[in-house]
Amino acid sequence: MKLTRNALRRAAIALALPPLLAACTATPTPSPTASPTPTPTPTATTLSPADQDLVNAKQAVVKLWAVVDRLTNDPQATLQDLDGVAMGDALTMFQQNLVKYRAARWTGTGSSVVEGVEALASGMDASGRATWTVTACVDGSATTLVDQNGKSVQGPPYRIRHQSKVVERASALYVAQDEAVGTC
């Protein structure tokens, strides 16, 4: 039997085709891969109630100075905004200062920086409310207080250490006393 050239090609293809098809459908063996190193998930730090109270007492003092700066800078803003951050002697003192500034037509610009804030629990006041003593450096070097002619009415020192008594009232914290105790 004599095979033609085309027949020989078909036979060669027929013999070669099954191994080629098998190679295409065979399941490849997986190559080893490095397993990714798990990245640690950040965990929320939970403060104890006492530590959270200290943080909140510090924030009460920072918030007070932000309100005082805003009221100094805007003579049209209501002094009642102090009621949300101060009470007692501190409220009276800041109200009197701001009334004095407004009567003299003094206005401010800038914001104080409250830094080096430290807080200690200091027990209960006479009314049975929790209190904290907060010491902070209030840096007023980025603020100005000027009269109606634009002349500065403030002078050094610009960095004053304050000691504040923070009191809890109706689940909120208020600065009840504030005293300048030196420079910082």
Q: What is the pTM of this model?
A: 0.74
113-124: strand order across its sheet:
113-124, 130-139, 159-169, 172-183
In a domain, 5, yes or no: no
Residue 76 included in any domain: yes
State whether the Cα torsion 77-83-85-90 is positive or negative.
Answer: positive
**Rounded to the nearest 5°, which phi and psi values hold at 2?**
-105, 125
Q: Which domain holds residue 156?
A: 49-183
Q: pLDDT 10s per residue in the chain (184 long)?
A: 444 444 333 433 333 333 333 333 444 444 444 444 455 555 567 889 999 999 999 999 999 999 999 999 999 999 999 999 999 999 999 999 999 999 999 999 999 999 999 999 999 999 999 999 999 999 999 999 999 999 999 888 889 999 999 999 988 999 999 999 999 9
Q: What are phi and psi of 99, to 5 degrees?
A: -65, -40
Residue 152 lies in a domain: yes
Phi/psi of residue 94, each to 5°? -70, -35
Residue 42 has which token pair?
């950040």
Q: How many domains does the chain have?
A: 1
Residue 120 resides in a domain:
yes
**71 located within any domain:** yes
Q: Are 86 and 64 in contact (CB under 8 A)?
A: yes
